[in-house]
Structure 1
Amino acid sequence: MLKKLILIIDDDNRNIFALKAVLKAKGFECLSATNPQDGFAIIEANENIAIVLMDMMMPDMDGYQAISVMKNSTRMQNIPVLAVTAQAMVGDKERCLTAGASGYISKPINVDDLLLQMEIFIK
């Protein structure tokens, strides 16, 4: 069985390191990018990305803009995107879902919740 390939897009390397450690321990393969543009290049080079974990608050292009680009791209539109945010304010989840995210999880991340959310969207 092939391991599922997860793409983490987050501008904070500490978050990437922590997510990779948890996901690799659960048997996933992980790629990462510190900005959406690099993430898009990774998607273009890897047709088997199972899900993208997208930080919503990044400089230059935030997660909302990045999800919009993905959903308007024939190549990327069907890849599930799990919005990951530290904002966790009232209305945030709805804003992420309206932007096109498949799901939403707030930081600090509860690993069990993350895995449950991922299970819903990974085929």
Structure 2
Amino acid sequence: MTTEKKDVVLIIDDDNCNTFALQLTLKAKGFKFISSSSAIEGLEILDKQPNIGLVLMDMMMPEMDGYQALKIMRASTEYPDLPIIAVTAQAMSGDKEKCIAAGATDYIAKPIDVDILLEILRKYM
């Protein structure tokens, strides 16, 4: 039995500009990534891609927001320890705690500070 290396970042964000900026940053730093424009699609990708090592999850999306997706992901036995980083423009007092309580591993506010993002990626991947 072979074990798949978990070295891909899954970006789940409905904003194409944010996704593009994250892709450029990850590519420039040598990270592999897959992008999803919705939480529903992101969950489907997780089920099909065993090499996802970390998720960057936008918290405010239509249809299913990041909080709902976190709940589903954490209820699954497939990825209970998968690092999921909440990414949100809602950088208000208490938001980090709310994201962590919902199941996020860590939190980063938009606009994303590249140094903080890289520190988080190194910490969890």
Fold shared by both chains (TM-score > 0.5): yes
Is the Cα–Cα contact under 8 Å of residues 53 and 84 in structure 1 kept in the other structure?
yes
What do you get for the CA RMSD once the two structures are aligned? 1.2
Q: Secondary structure at the match of 1:76?
A: coil
Identity of aligned residues (%): 54
1:24 is matched with which residue?
A: 27
Q: 1:86 aligns with which of 79, 84, 89?
A: 89
Mark the runs of 5 or more structure 2 residues left unpaired by the alignment.
none
Report the equivalent of 2:63: 60
Shift of residue 53, structure 1, vs aligned partner: 0.1
- Secondary structure of residue in 2 paired with 1:7: strand
- Map Cα deviations across residues 15-47 of structure 1 (whole Å, 9 max, x no partner): 111100000110011101111110111111110
Q: Is 1:44 equivalent to 2:86 in the alignment?
A: no
Number of residue-to-residue matches in the alignment: 121
List aligned pairs for 1:66-77, cutoff 5 A. Answer: 66-77=69-80
Match of 2:117 in 1: 114
CA contact (8 A) 2:9 2:33 kept: yes
TM-score w.r.t. the length of structure 2 is: 0.93
| Structure 2 partner of 1:102 | 105
CA contact (8 A) 2:55 2:84 kept: yes
Give the superposition deviation at 1:91. Answer: 0.2
Normalised TM-score (structure 1): 0.94
Deviating runs (4+, > 2 A) in structure 1? none
Q: CA deviation at 1:76?
A: 2.6
8 Å CA contact 1:3–1:29 kept in 2: the answer is no
